[in-house]
């Protein structure tokens, strides 16, 4: 029963219990006491230079195959995957699955965080499973508590996690065919690392020409102070490729003031305060920048059944419109479960709300990328 429950709802829980930016805004002192390590940060030994040659260092990669590969899971009733798969390779970085306060970074052999990571990939990487290749690395992720404090160890832990992700990414790039379009995707801590990859290893390099799409869903991007540093534009139209799609979901009435207050005071990728400008919003229902779409455009929201033993895609469940601040409004609060953050923030449900549209979005954009130009 527990396993059936978890594989459906794990993606609902990921931000609430594994956290990233949104939880940082509302974390209480009690949460900090419970989750922030009280020990000093200990510098991790670098992984062996050939560490990611080992298939055991990947949750998903070619050769694992369904049903073992968690990213290849699909809910019942989804149309059969394209045969053969669409030619593109996904590099997906999973969200935080390590909740302990014993270490600042998760040991690679921690069984609970490994179990959660696989479950999260089932719910969050699965819309990309029409791809010919999906790669999702294990990495020594920063613990949940690293996102609840400004202590020096927190930044060091997040940086250490990124170093593993960067090493995995280098191996991924060397492993996929030179003509294979690359899609970068993640959520929460995973999206944070994806954006850093864009800034430090891709923007302005020859590798940028191989990036077909980027989906750092659920991590706010300042249009003025973050986007210019990423090297790729926001996706303006549904058939555009080589661009960035992201959104941050709120039901109405939305109350994002506390969320924006801290975000606006933080430094952007250009080193300046992010200020009052909007965040990036590409509507996942119609693929347009700052767009609006009715519920009838929603091809399927992934929701659990009443006893939480399975899940189904429900079409037409919610509309979506980007407001002037850049948040994505989904109308009246949908009944998806108890994991709604303060202010009607549906961050936990960013991907499930638009599961089927995301599956179609990436396939359509890869088609545009691969078309003769």
User: In the chain, which ranges are E strands?
Assistant: 58-60, 86-93, 131-137, 182-187, 211-217, 243-244, 249-250, 292-293, 301-304, 311-314, 320-322, 328-329
d(CA 173, CA 186): 17
User: Coil, strand or helix: which one is 313?
Assistant: strand
71-128 pLDDT, tens per residue?
Answer: 998 887 777 666 778 999 999 999 988 888 889 999 999 999 999 899 889 888 999 9
| Cα angle 321, 325, 327; round to 5 | 45
* CA 224 to chain CA centroid, nearest Å: 22
Confidence (pLDDT) at 34 = 62
266-303 pLDDT, tens per residue?
Answer: 899 999 999 989 999 999 999 999 999 999 999 999 88
Out of 140-149, 165-174, 188-197, pick the least confident: 140-149
> What residues does each domain of the chain span?
2-370
Structure tokens at 32: 């900090």
157 contacts 105 by C-beta, under 8 angstroms: yes
Neighbours of 359 (CB within 10 A): 22
Instruction: Identify the residue with better confidence: 150 or 249.
Output: 249
Q: Read off the pLDDT band of 309 (50, 70, 90).
A: very low
Strand duo 328-329 + 243-244: pairing: unpaired
Give the orientation angle of helix 2-13 with respect to helix 111-124, to 10 degrees.
70
* CA 42 to chain CA centroid, nearest Å: 27
* CA 238 to chain CA centroid, nearest Å: 20
Q: Read off the pLDDT band of 2 (50, 70, 90).
A: very low
Mean pLDDT (the chain, rounded) = 87
Whether 151 has a pLDDT exceeding 90, the answer reads: no
Matching residue, tokens 């009838």: 296
Confidence (pLDDT) at 90 = 98
For 30, list phi and psi in degrees, rounded to 5: -65, -40
Strand duo 131-137 + 86-93: pairing: parallel
């Amino acid at each position: 029963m527990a396993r059936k429950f978890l594989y459906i709802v794990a993606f609902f829980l990921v931000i609430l219990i594994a956290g990233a930016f949104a939880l940082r805004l509302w974390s209480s002192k009690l949460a900090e006491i419970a989750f922030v390590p009280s020990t000093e940060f200990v510098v991790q030994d670098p992984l062996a230079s050939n560490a990611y040659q080992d298939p055991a260092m990947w949750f998903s990669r070619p050769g694992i195959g369904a049903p073992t590969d968690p990213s290849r899971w699909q809910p019942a009733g989804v149309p059969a995957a394209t045969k053969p798969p669409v030619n593109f390779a996904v590099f997906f970085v999973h969200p935080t699955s390590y909740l302990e306060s014993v270490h600042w970074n998760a040991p690679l052999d921690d069984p609970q965080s490994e179990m959660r990571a696989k479950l999260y990939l089932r719910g969050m990487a699965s819309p990309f499973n029409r791809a010919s290749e999906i790669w999702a690395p294990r990495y020594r992720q920063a613990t949940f508590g690293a996102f609840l404090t400004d202590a020096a160890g927190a930044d060091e832990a997040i940086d250490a996690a990124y170093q593993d992700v960067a090493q995995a990414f280098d191996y991924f790039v060397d492993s996929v065919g030179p003509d294979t379009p690359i899609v970068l995707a993640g959520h929460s801590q995973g999206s944070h690392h994806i954006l850093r990859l864009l800034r430090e290893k891709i923007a302005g390099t020859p590798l940028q020409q191989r990036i077909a799409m980027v989906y750092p869903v659920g991590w706010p991007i300042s249009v003025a102070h973050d986007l210019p540093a990423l090297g790729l534009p926001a996706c303006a139209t549904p058939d555009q490729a080589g661009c960035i799609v992201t959104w941050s979901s709120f039901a109405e009435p939305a109350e994002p003031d506390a969320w924006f207050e801290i975000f606006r005071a933080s430094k952007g990728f250009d080193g300046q305060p992010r200020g009052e400008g909007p965040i990036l919003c590409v509507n996942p229902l119609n693929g347009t920048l700052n767009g609006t779409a009715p519920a009838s455009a929603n091809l399927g929201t992934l929701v659990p059944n009443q006893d939480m033993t399975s899940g189904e895609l429900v079409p037409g469940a919610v509309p979506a419109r980007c407001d002037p601040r850049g948040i994505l409004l989904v109308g009246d609060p949908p009944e998806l479960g108890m994991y709604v953050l303060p202010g009607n923030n549906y961050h936990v449900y960013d991907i499930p709300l638009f599961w089927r549209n995301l599956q179609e979005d990436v396939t359509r954009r890869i088609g545009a990328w691969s078309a003769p130009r």
